Amino acid sequence: MTNILHIKASIRGDESISNQLGDRIVAGLRAKGDAQVTTRDLAANDLPFVSAERFAANLAPAEERTSEQADLAAISDTLIAELEAADTIVISSPVYNFGVPASLKAWADLVARAGRTFKYTENGPVGLLTGKKVYLAVASGGTKIGSAIDFMSPWLTFFLGFLGITDVAIVAADGIMGEDGEAKIAAAHEQAERLAA
């Protein structure tokens, strides 16, 4: 059985183009065989930002945490477990102000944990979450993905690589606020369907 983790970062729910693209990818992947899907809607779950106390709790060995540290580390532990269990990850994200939504950055800060999702070596950091496939389903009103003003997809691709996840495919409905926006959305849906197949 395949385990799929679908991370959604748009505040627009079912109206979100990135969520619709991600849903199409997930549906295509499920059609190929037995799959379990975990959906993590970052906009709905109100993830905390990392504080000094939460950072210390996340790094403390589970058996040595105080009850307060265990409470602080619980969300990070859950998010990391979802990521570790997934064979395939679909990240649906809009471009907000040329970068990732704050909720997606908060998620990244909570899953990047030395000794668990990456480790430090004498040759630098090494990602520990290898062997996973990621599909980025991206939408933007005016930012062209891959352009000089796209700080979202390069950052997210680099971050995933830092965790050891290097097999990343991008489906983008970008620049959709222009006159040909509907055509760009339709083309992105077709690309999502082809990729998932």
Domain ranges of the chain: 2-196
Indicate if the pLDDT at residue 85 is higher than 80: yes
Both structure tokens of 89: 């990850």
Per-position DSSP letters for 73-115, written without gaps between them: HHHHHHHHHHHHH-SEEEEEEE-BTTB--HHHHHHHHHH--BT
Confidence grade of residue 170 (pLDDT, cut at 50, 70, 90): very high
Confidence grade of residue 7 (pLDDT, cut at 50, 70, 90): very high
Of all residues in the chain, the percent with pLDDT exceeding 70 is: 100
Selected residue with higher pLDDT from 34 and 4: 4
CATH domain 2-196 topology? Rossmann fold (3.40.50)
Distance CA 106, CA 84 (A): 18
Task: Provide the pLDDT for residue 67.
Answer: 94
Task: Provide the pLDDT for residue 33.
Answer: 87
Residue holding tokens 């997930």?
A: 26
Q: Which residues pair with 91 in a beta bridge?
A: 7, 136
Distance CA 14, CA 154 (A): 26
Q: Which residues pair with 185 in a beta bridge?
A: none
The string over 92-108, giving b where at least 16 C-beta atoms fall within 10 Å of a residue's C-beta and e elsewhere, is bbbbbeebbbebbbbbb
Taking only the tens place, the pLDDT of each residue in 104-129 is 999 999 999 999 999 999 999 999 99
